Amino acid sequence: MATTDDDALDSRQQPESVAAVLKVFAILQALSEHDETGVSELSLRLAMPKATTYRFLQTMKALGYVRQEADSERYGLTMKVFELGTKALQYPDLVEIAKHPMRLLADQTGETVHLGMLIDSEIIYVHKVDSKHMLGMYSRIGRRAPLHCTAIGKVLMAWEHPERRDRVLDGAEFKRFRDKTIVDRT
């Protein structure tokens, strides 16, 4: 009798597989927030056994997503993670549709024009047309930023459906970055 993929993942194996995926992504997220982290520090931060953390790091290292510094034995992310992320950001249809209007707007205003998407309580820059001025706003495609302290985030919230806007803002942390950063919903 042939087995299917569903048979291969019976109820005893499935929870373990899901737990493993959660651990991998927790490690990737932690490394993205604090580059060059040691196994002990990472296992403490993630409340994960040190041996488990080490095994996952070694597997991710073998796959090319994590690097290990020879002198300090600390771990960090590789460009392979960046490459994976940029593939997810390509949204070819959206970017292709937006390119011409963005170029026209940039030509008319002389300013940088961004295309961004709302992800949780942050925006992510998907495409941009740079300003022709010597001075301009620095931004990077793929960069995430809190919606409350960016022009694009404020615009997206202003035009968002009220119920979704409330859900997004309920989950937002209004951290102060500058003197005039918005720090509450009012």
Is residue 8's pLDDT more than 70? Answer: no
Contacts (Cβ under 8 Å, ≥6 apart) of 73: 38, 39
Of residues 15 and 116, more confidence is placed in: 116
In a domain, 147, yes or no: yes
CA of residue 64 relative to chain centroid, distance: 19
Work out the mean pLDDT of the chain and round it to a whole number. Answer: 83
In a domain, 180, yes or no: no
Domain that holds residue 12: 5-78
Contacts (Cβ under 8 Å, ≥6 apart) of 155: none
Distances in Å between the Cα of 56 and the Cα atoms of 1, 46, 81, 108, 112 are 34, 13, 15, 51, 41
Is 165 found in the same domain as 123? yes
Is 164 found in the same domain as 96? yes
Query: For residue range 97-153, what is the model confidence (pLDDT) as tens digits?
Result: 899 999 999 999 989 999 988 888 888 888 899 888 877 777 888 888 888 888 888
* Total structural domains within the chain: 2
Is 110 found in the same domain as 59? no
Q: pTM of the entire structure?
A: 0.54
Q: How confident is the model at residue 10 (pLDDT cuts 50, 70, 90)?
A: very low
Q: Report pLDDT for 39.
A: 94
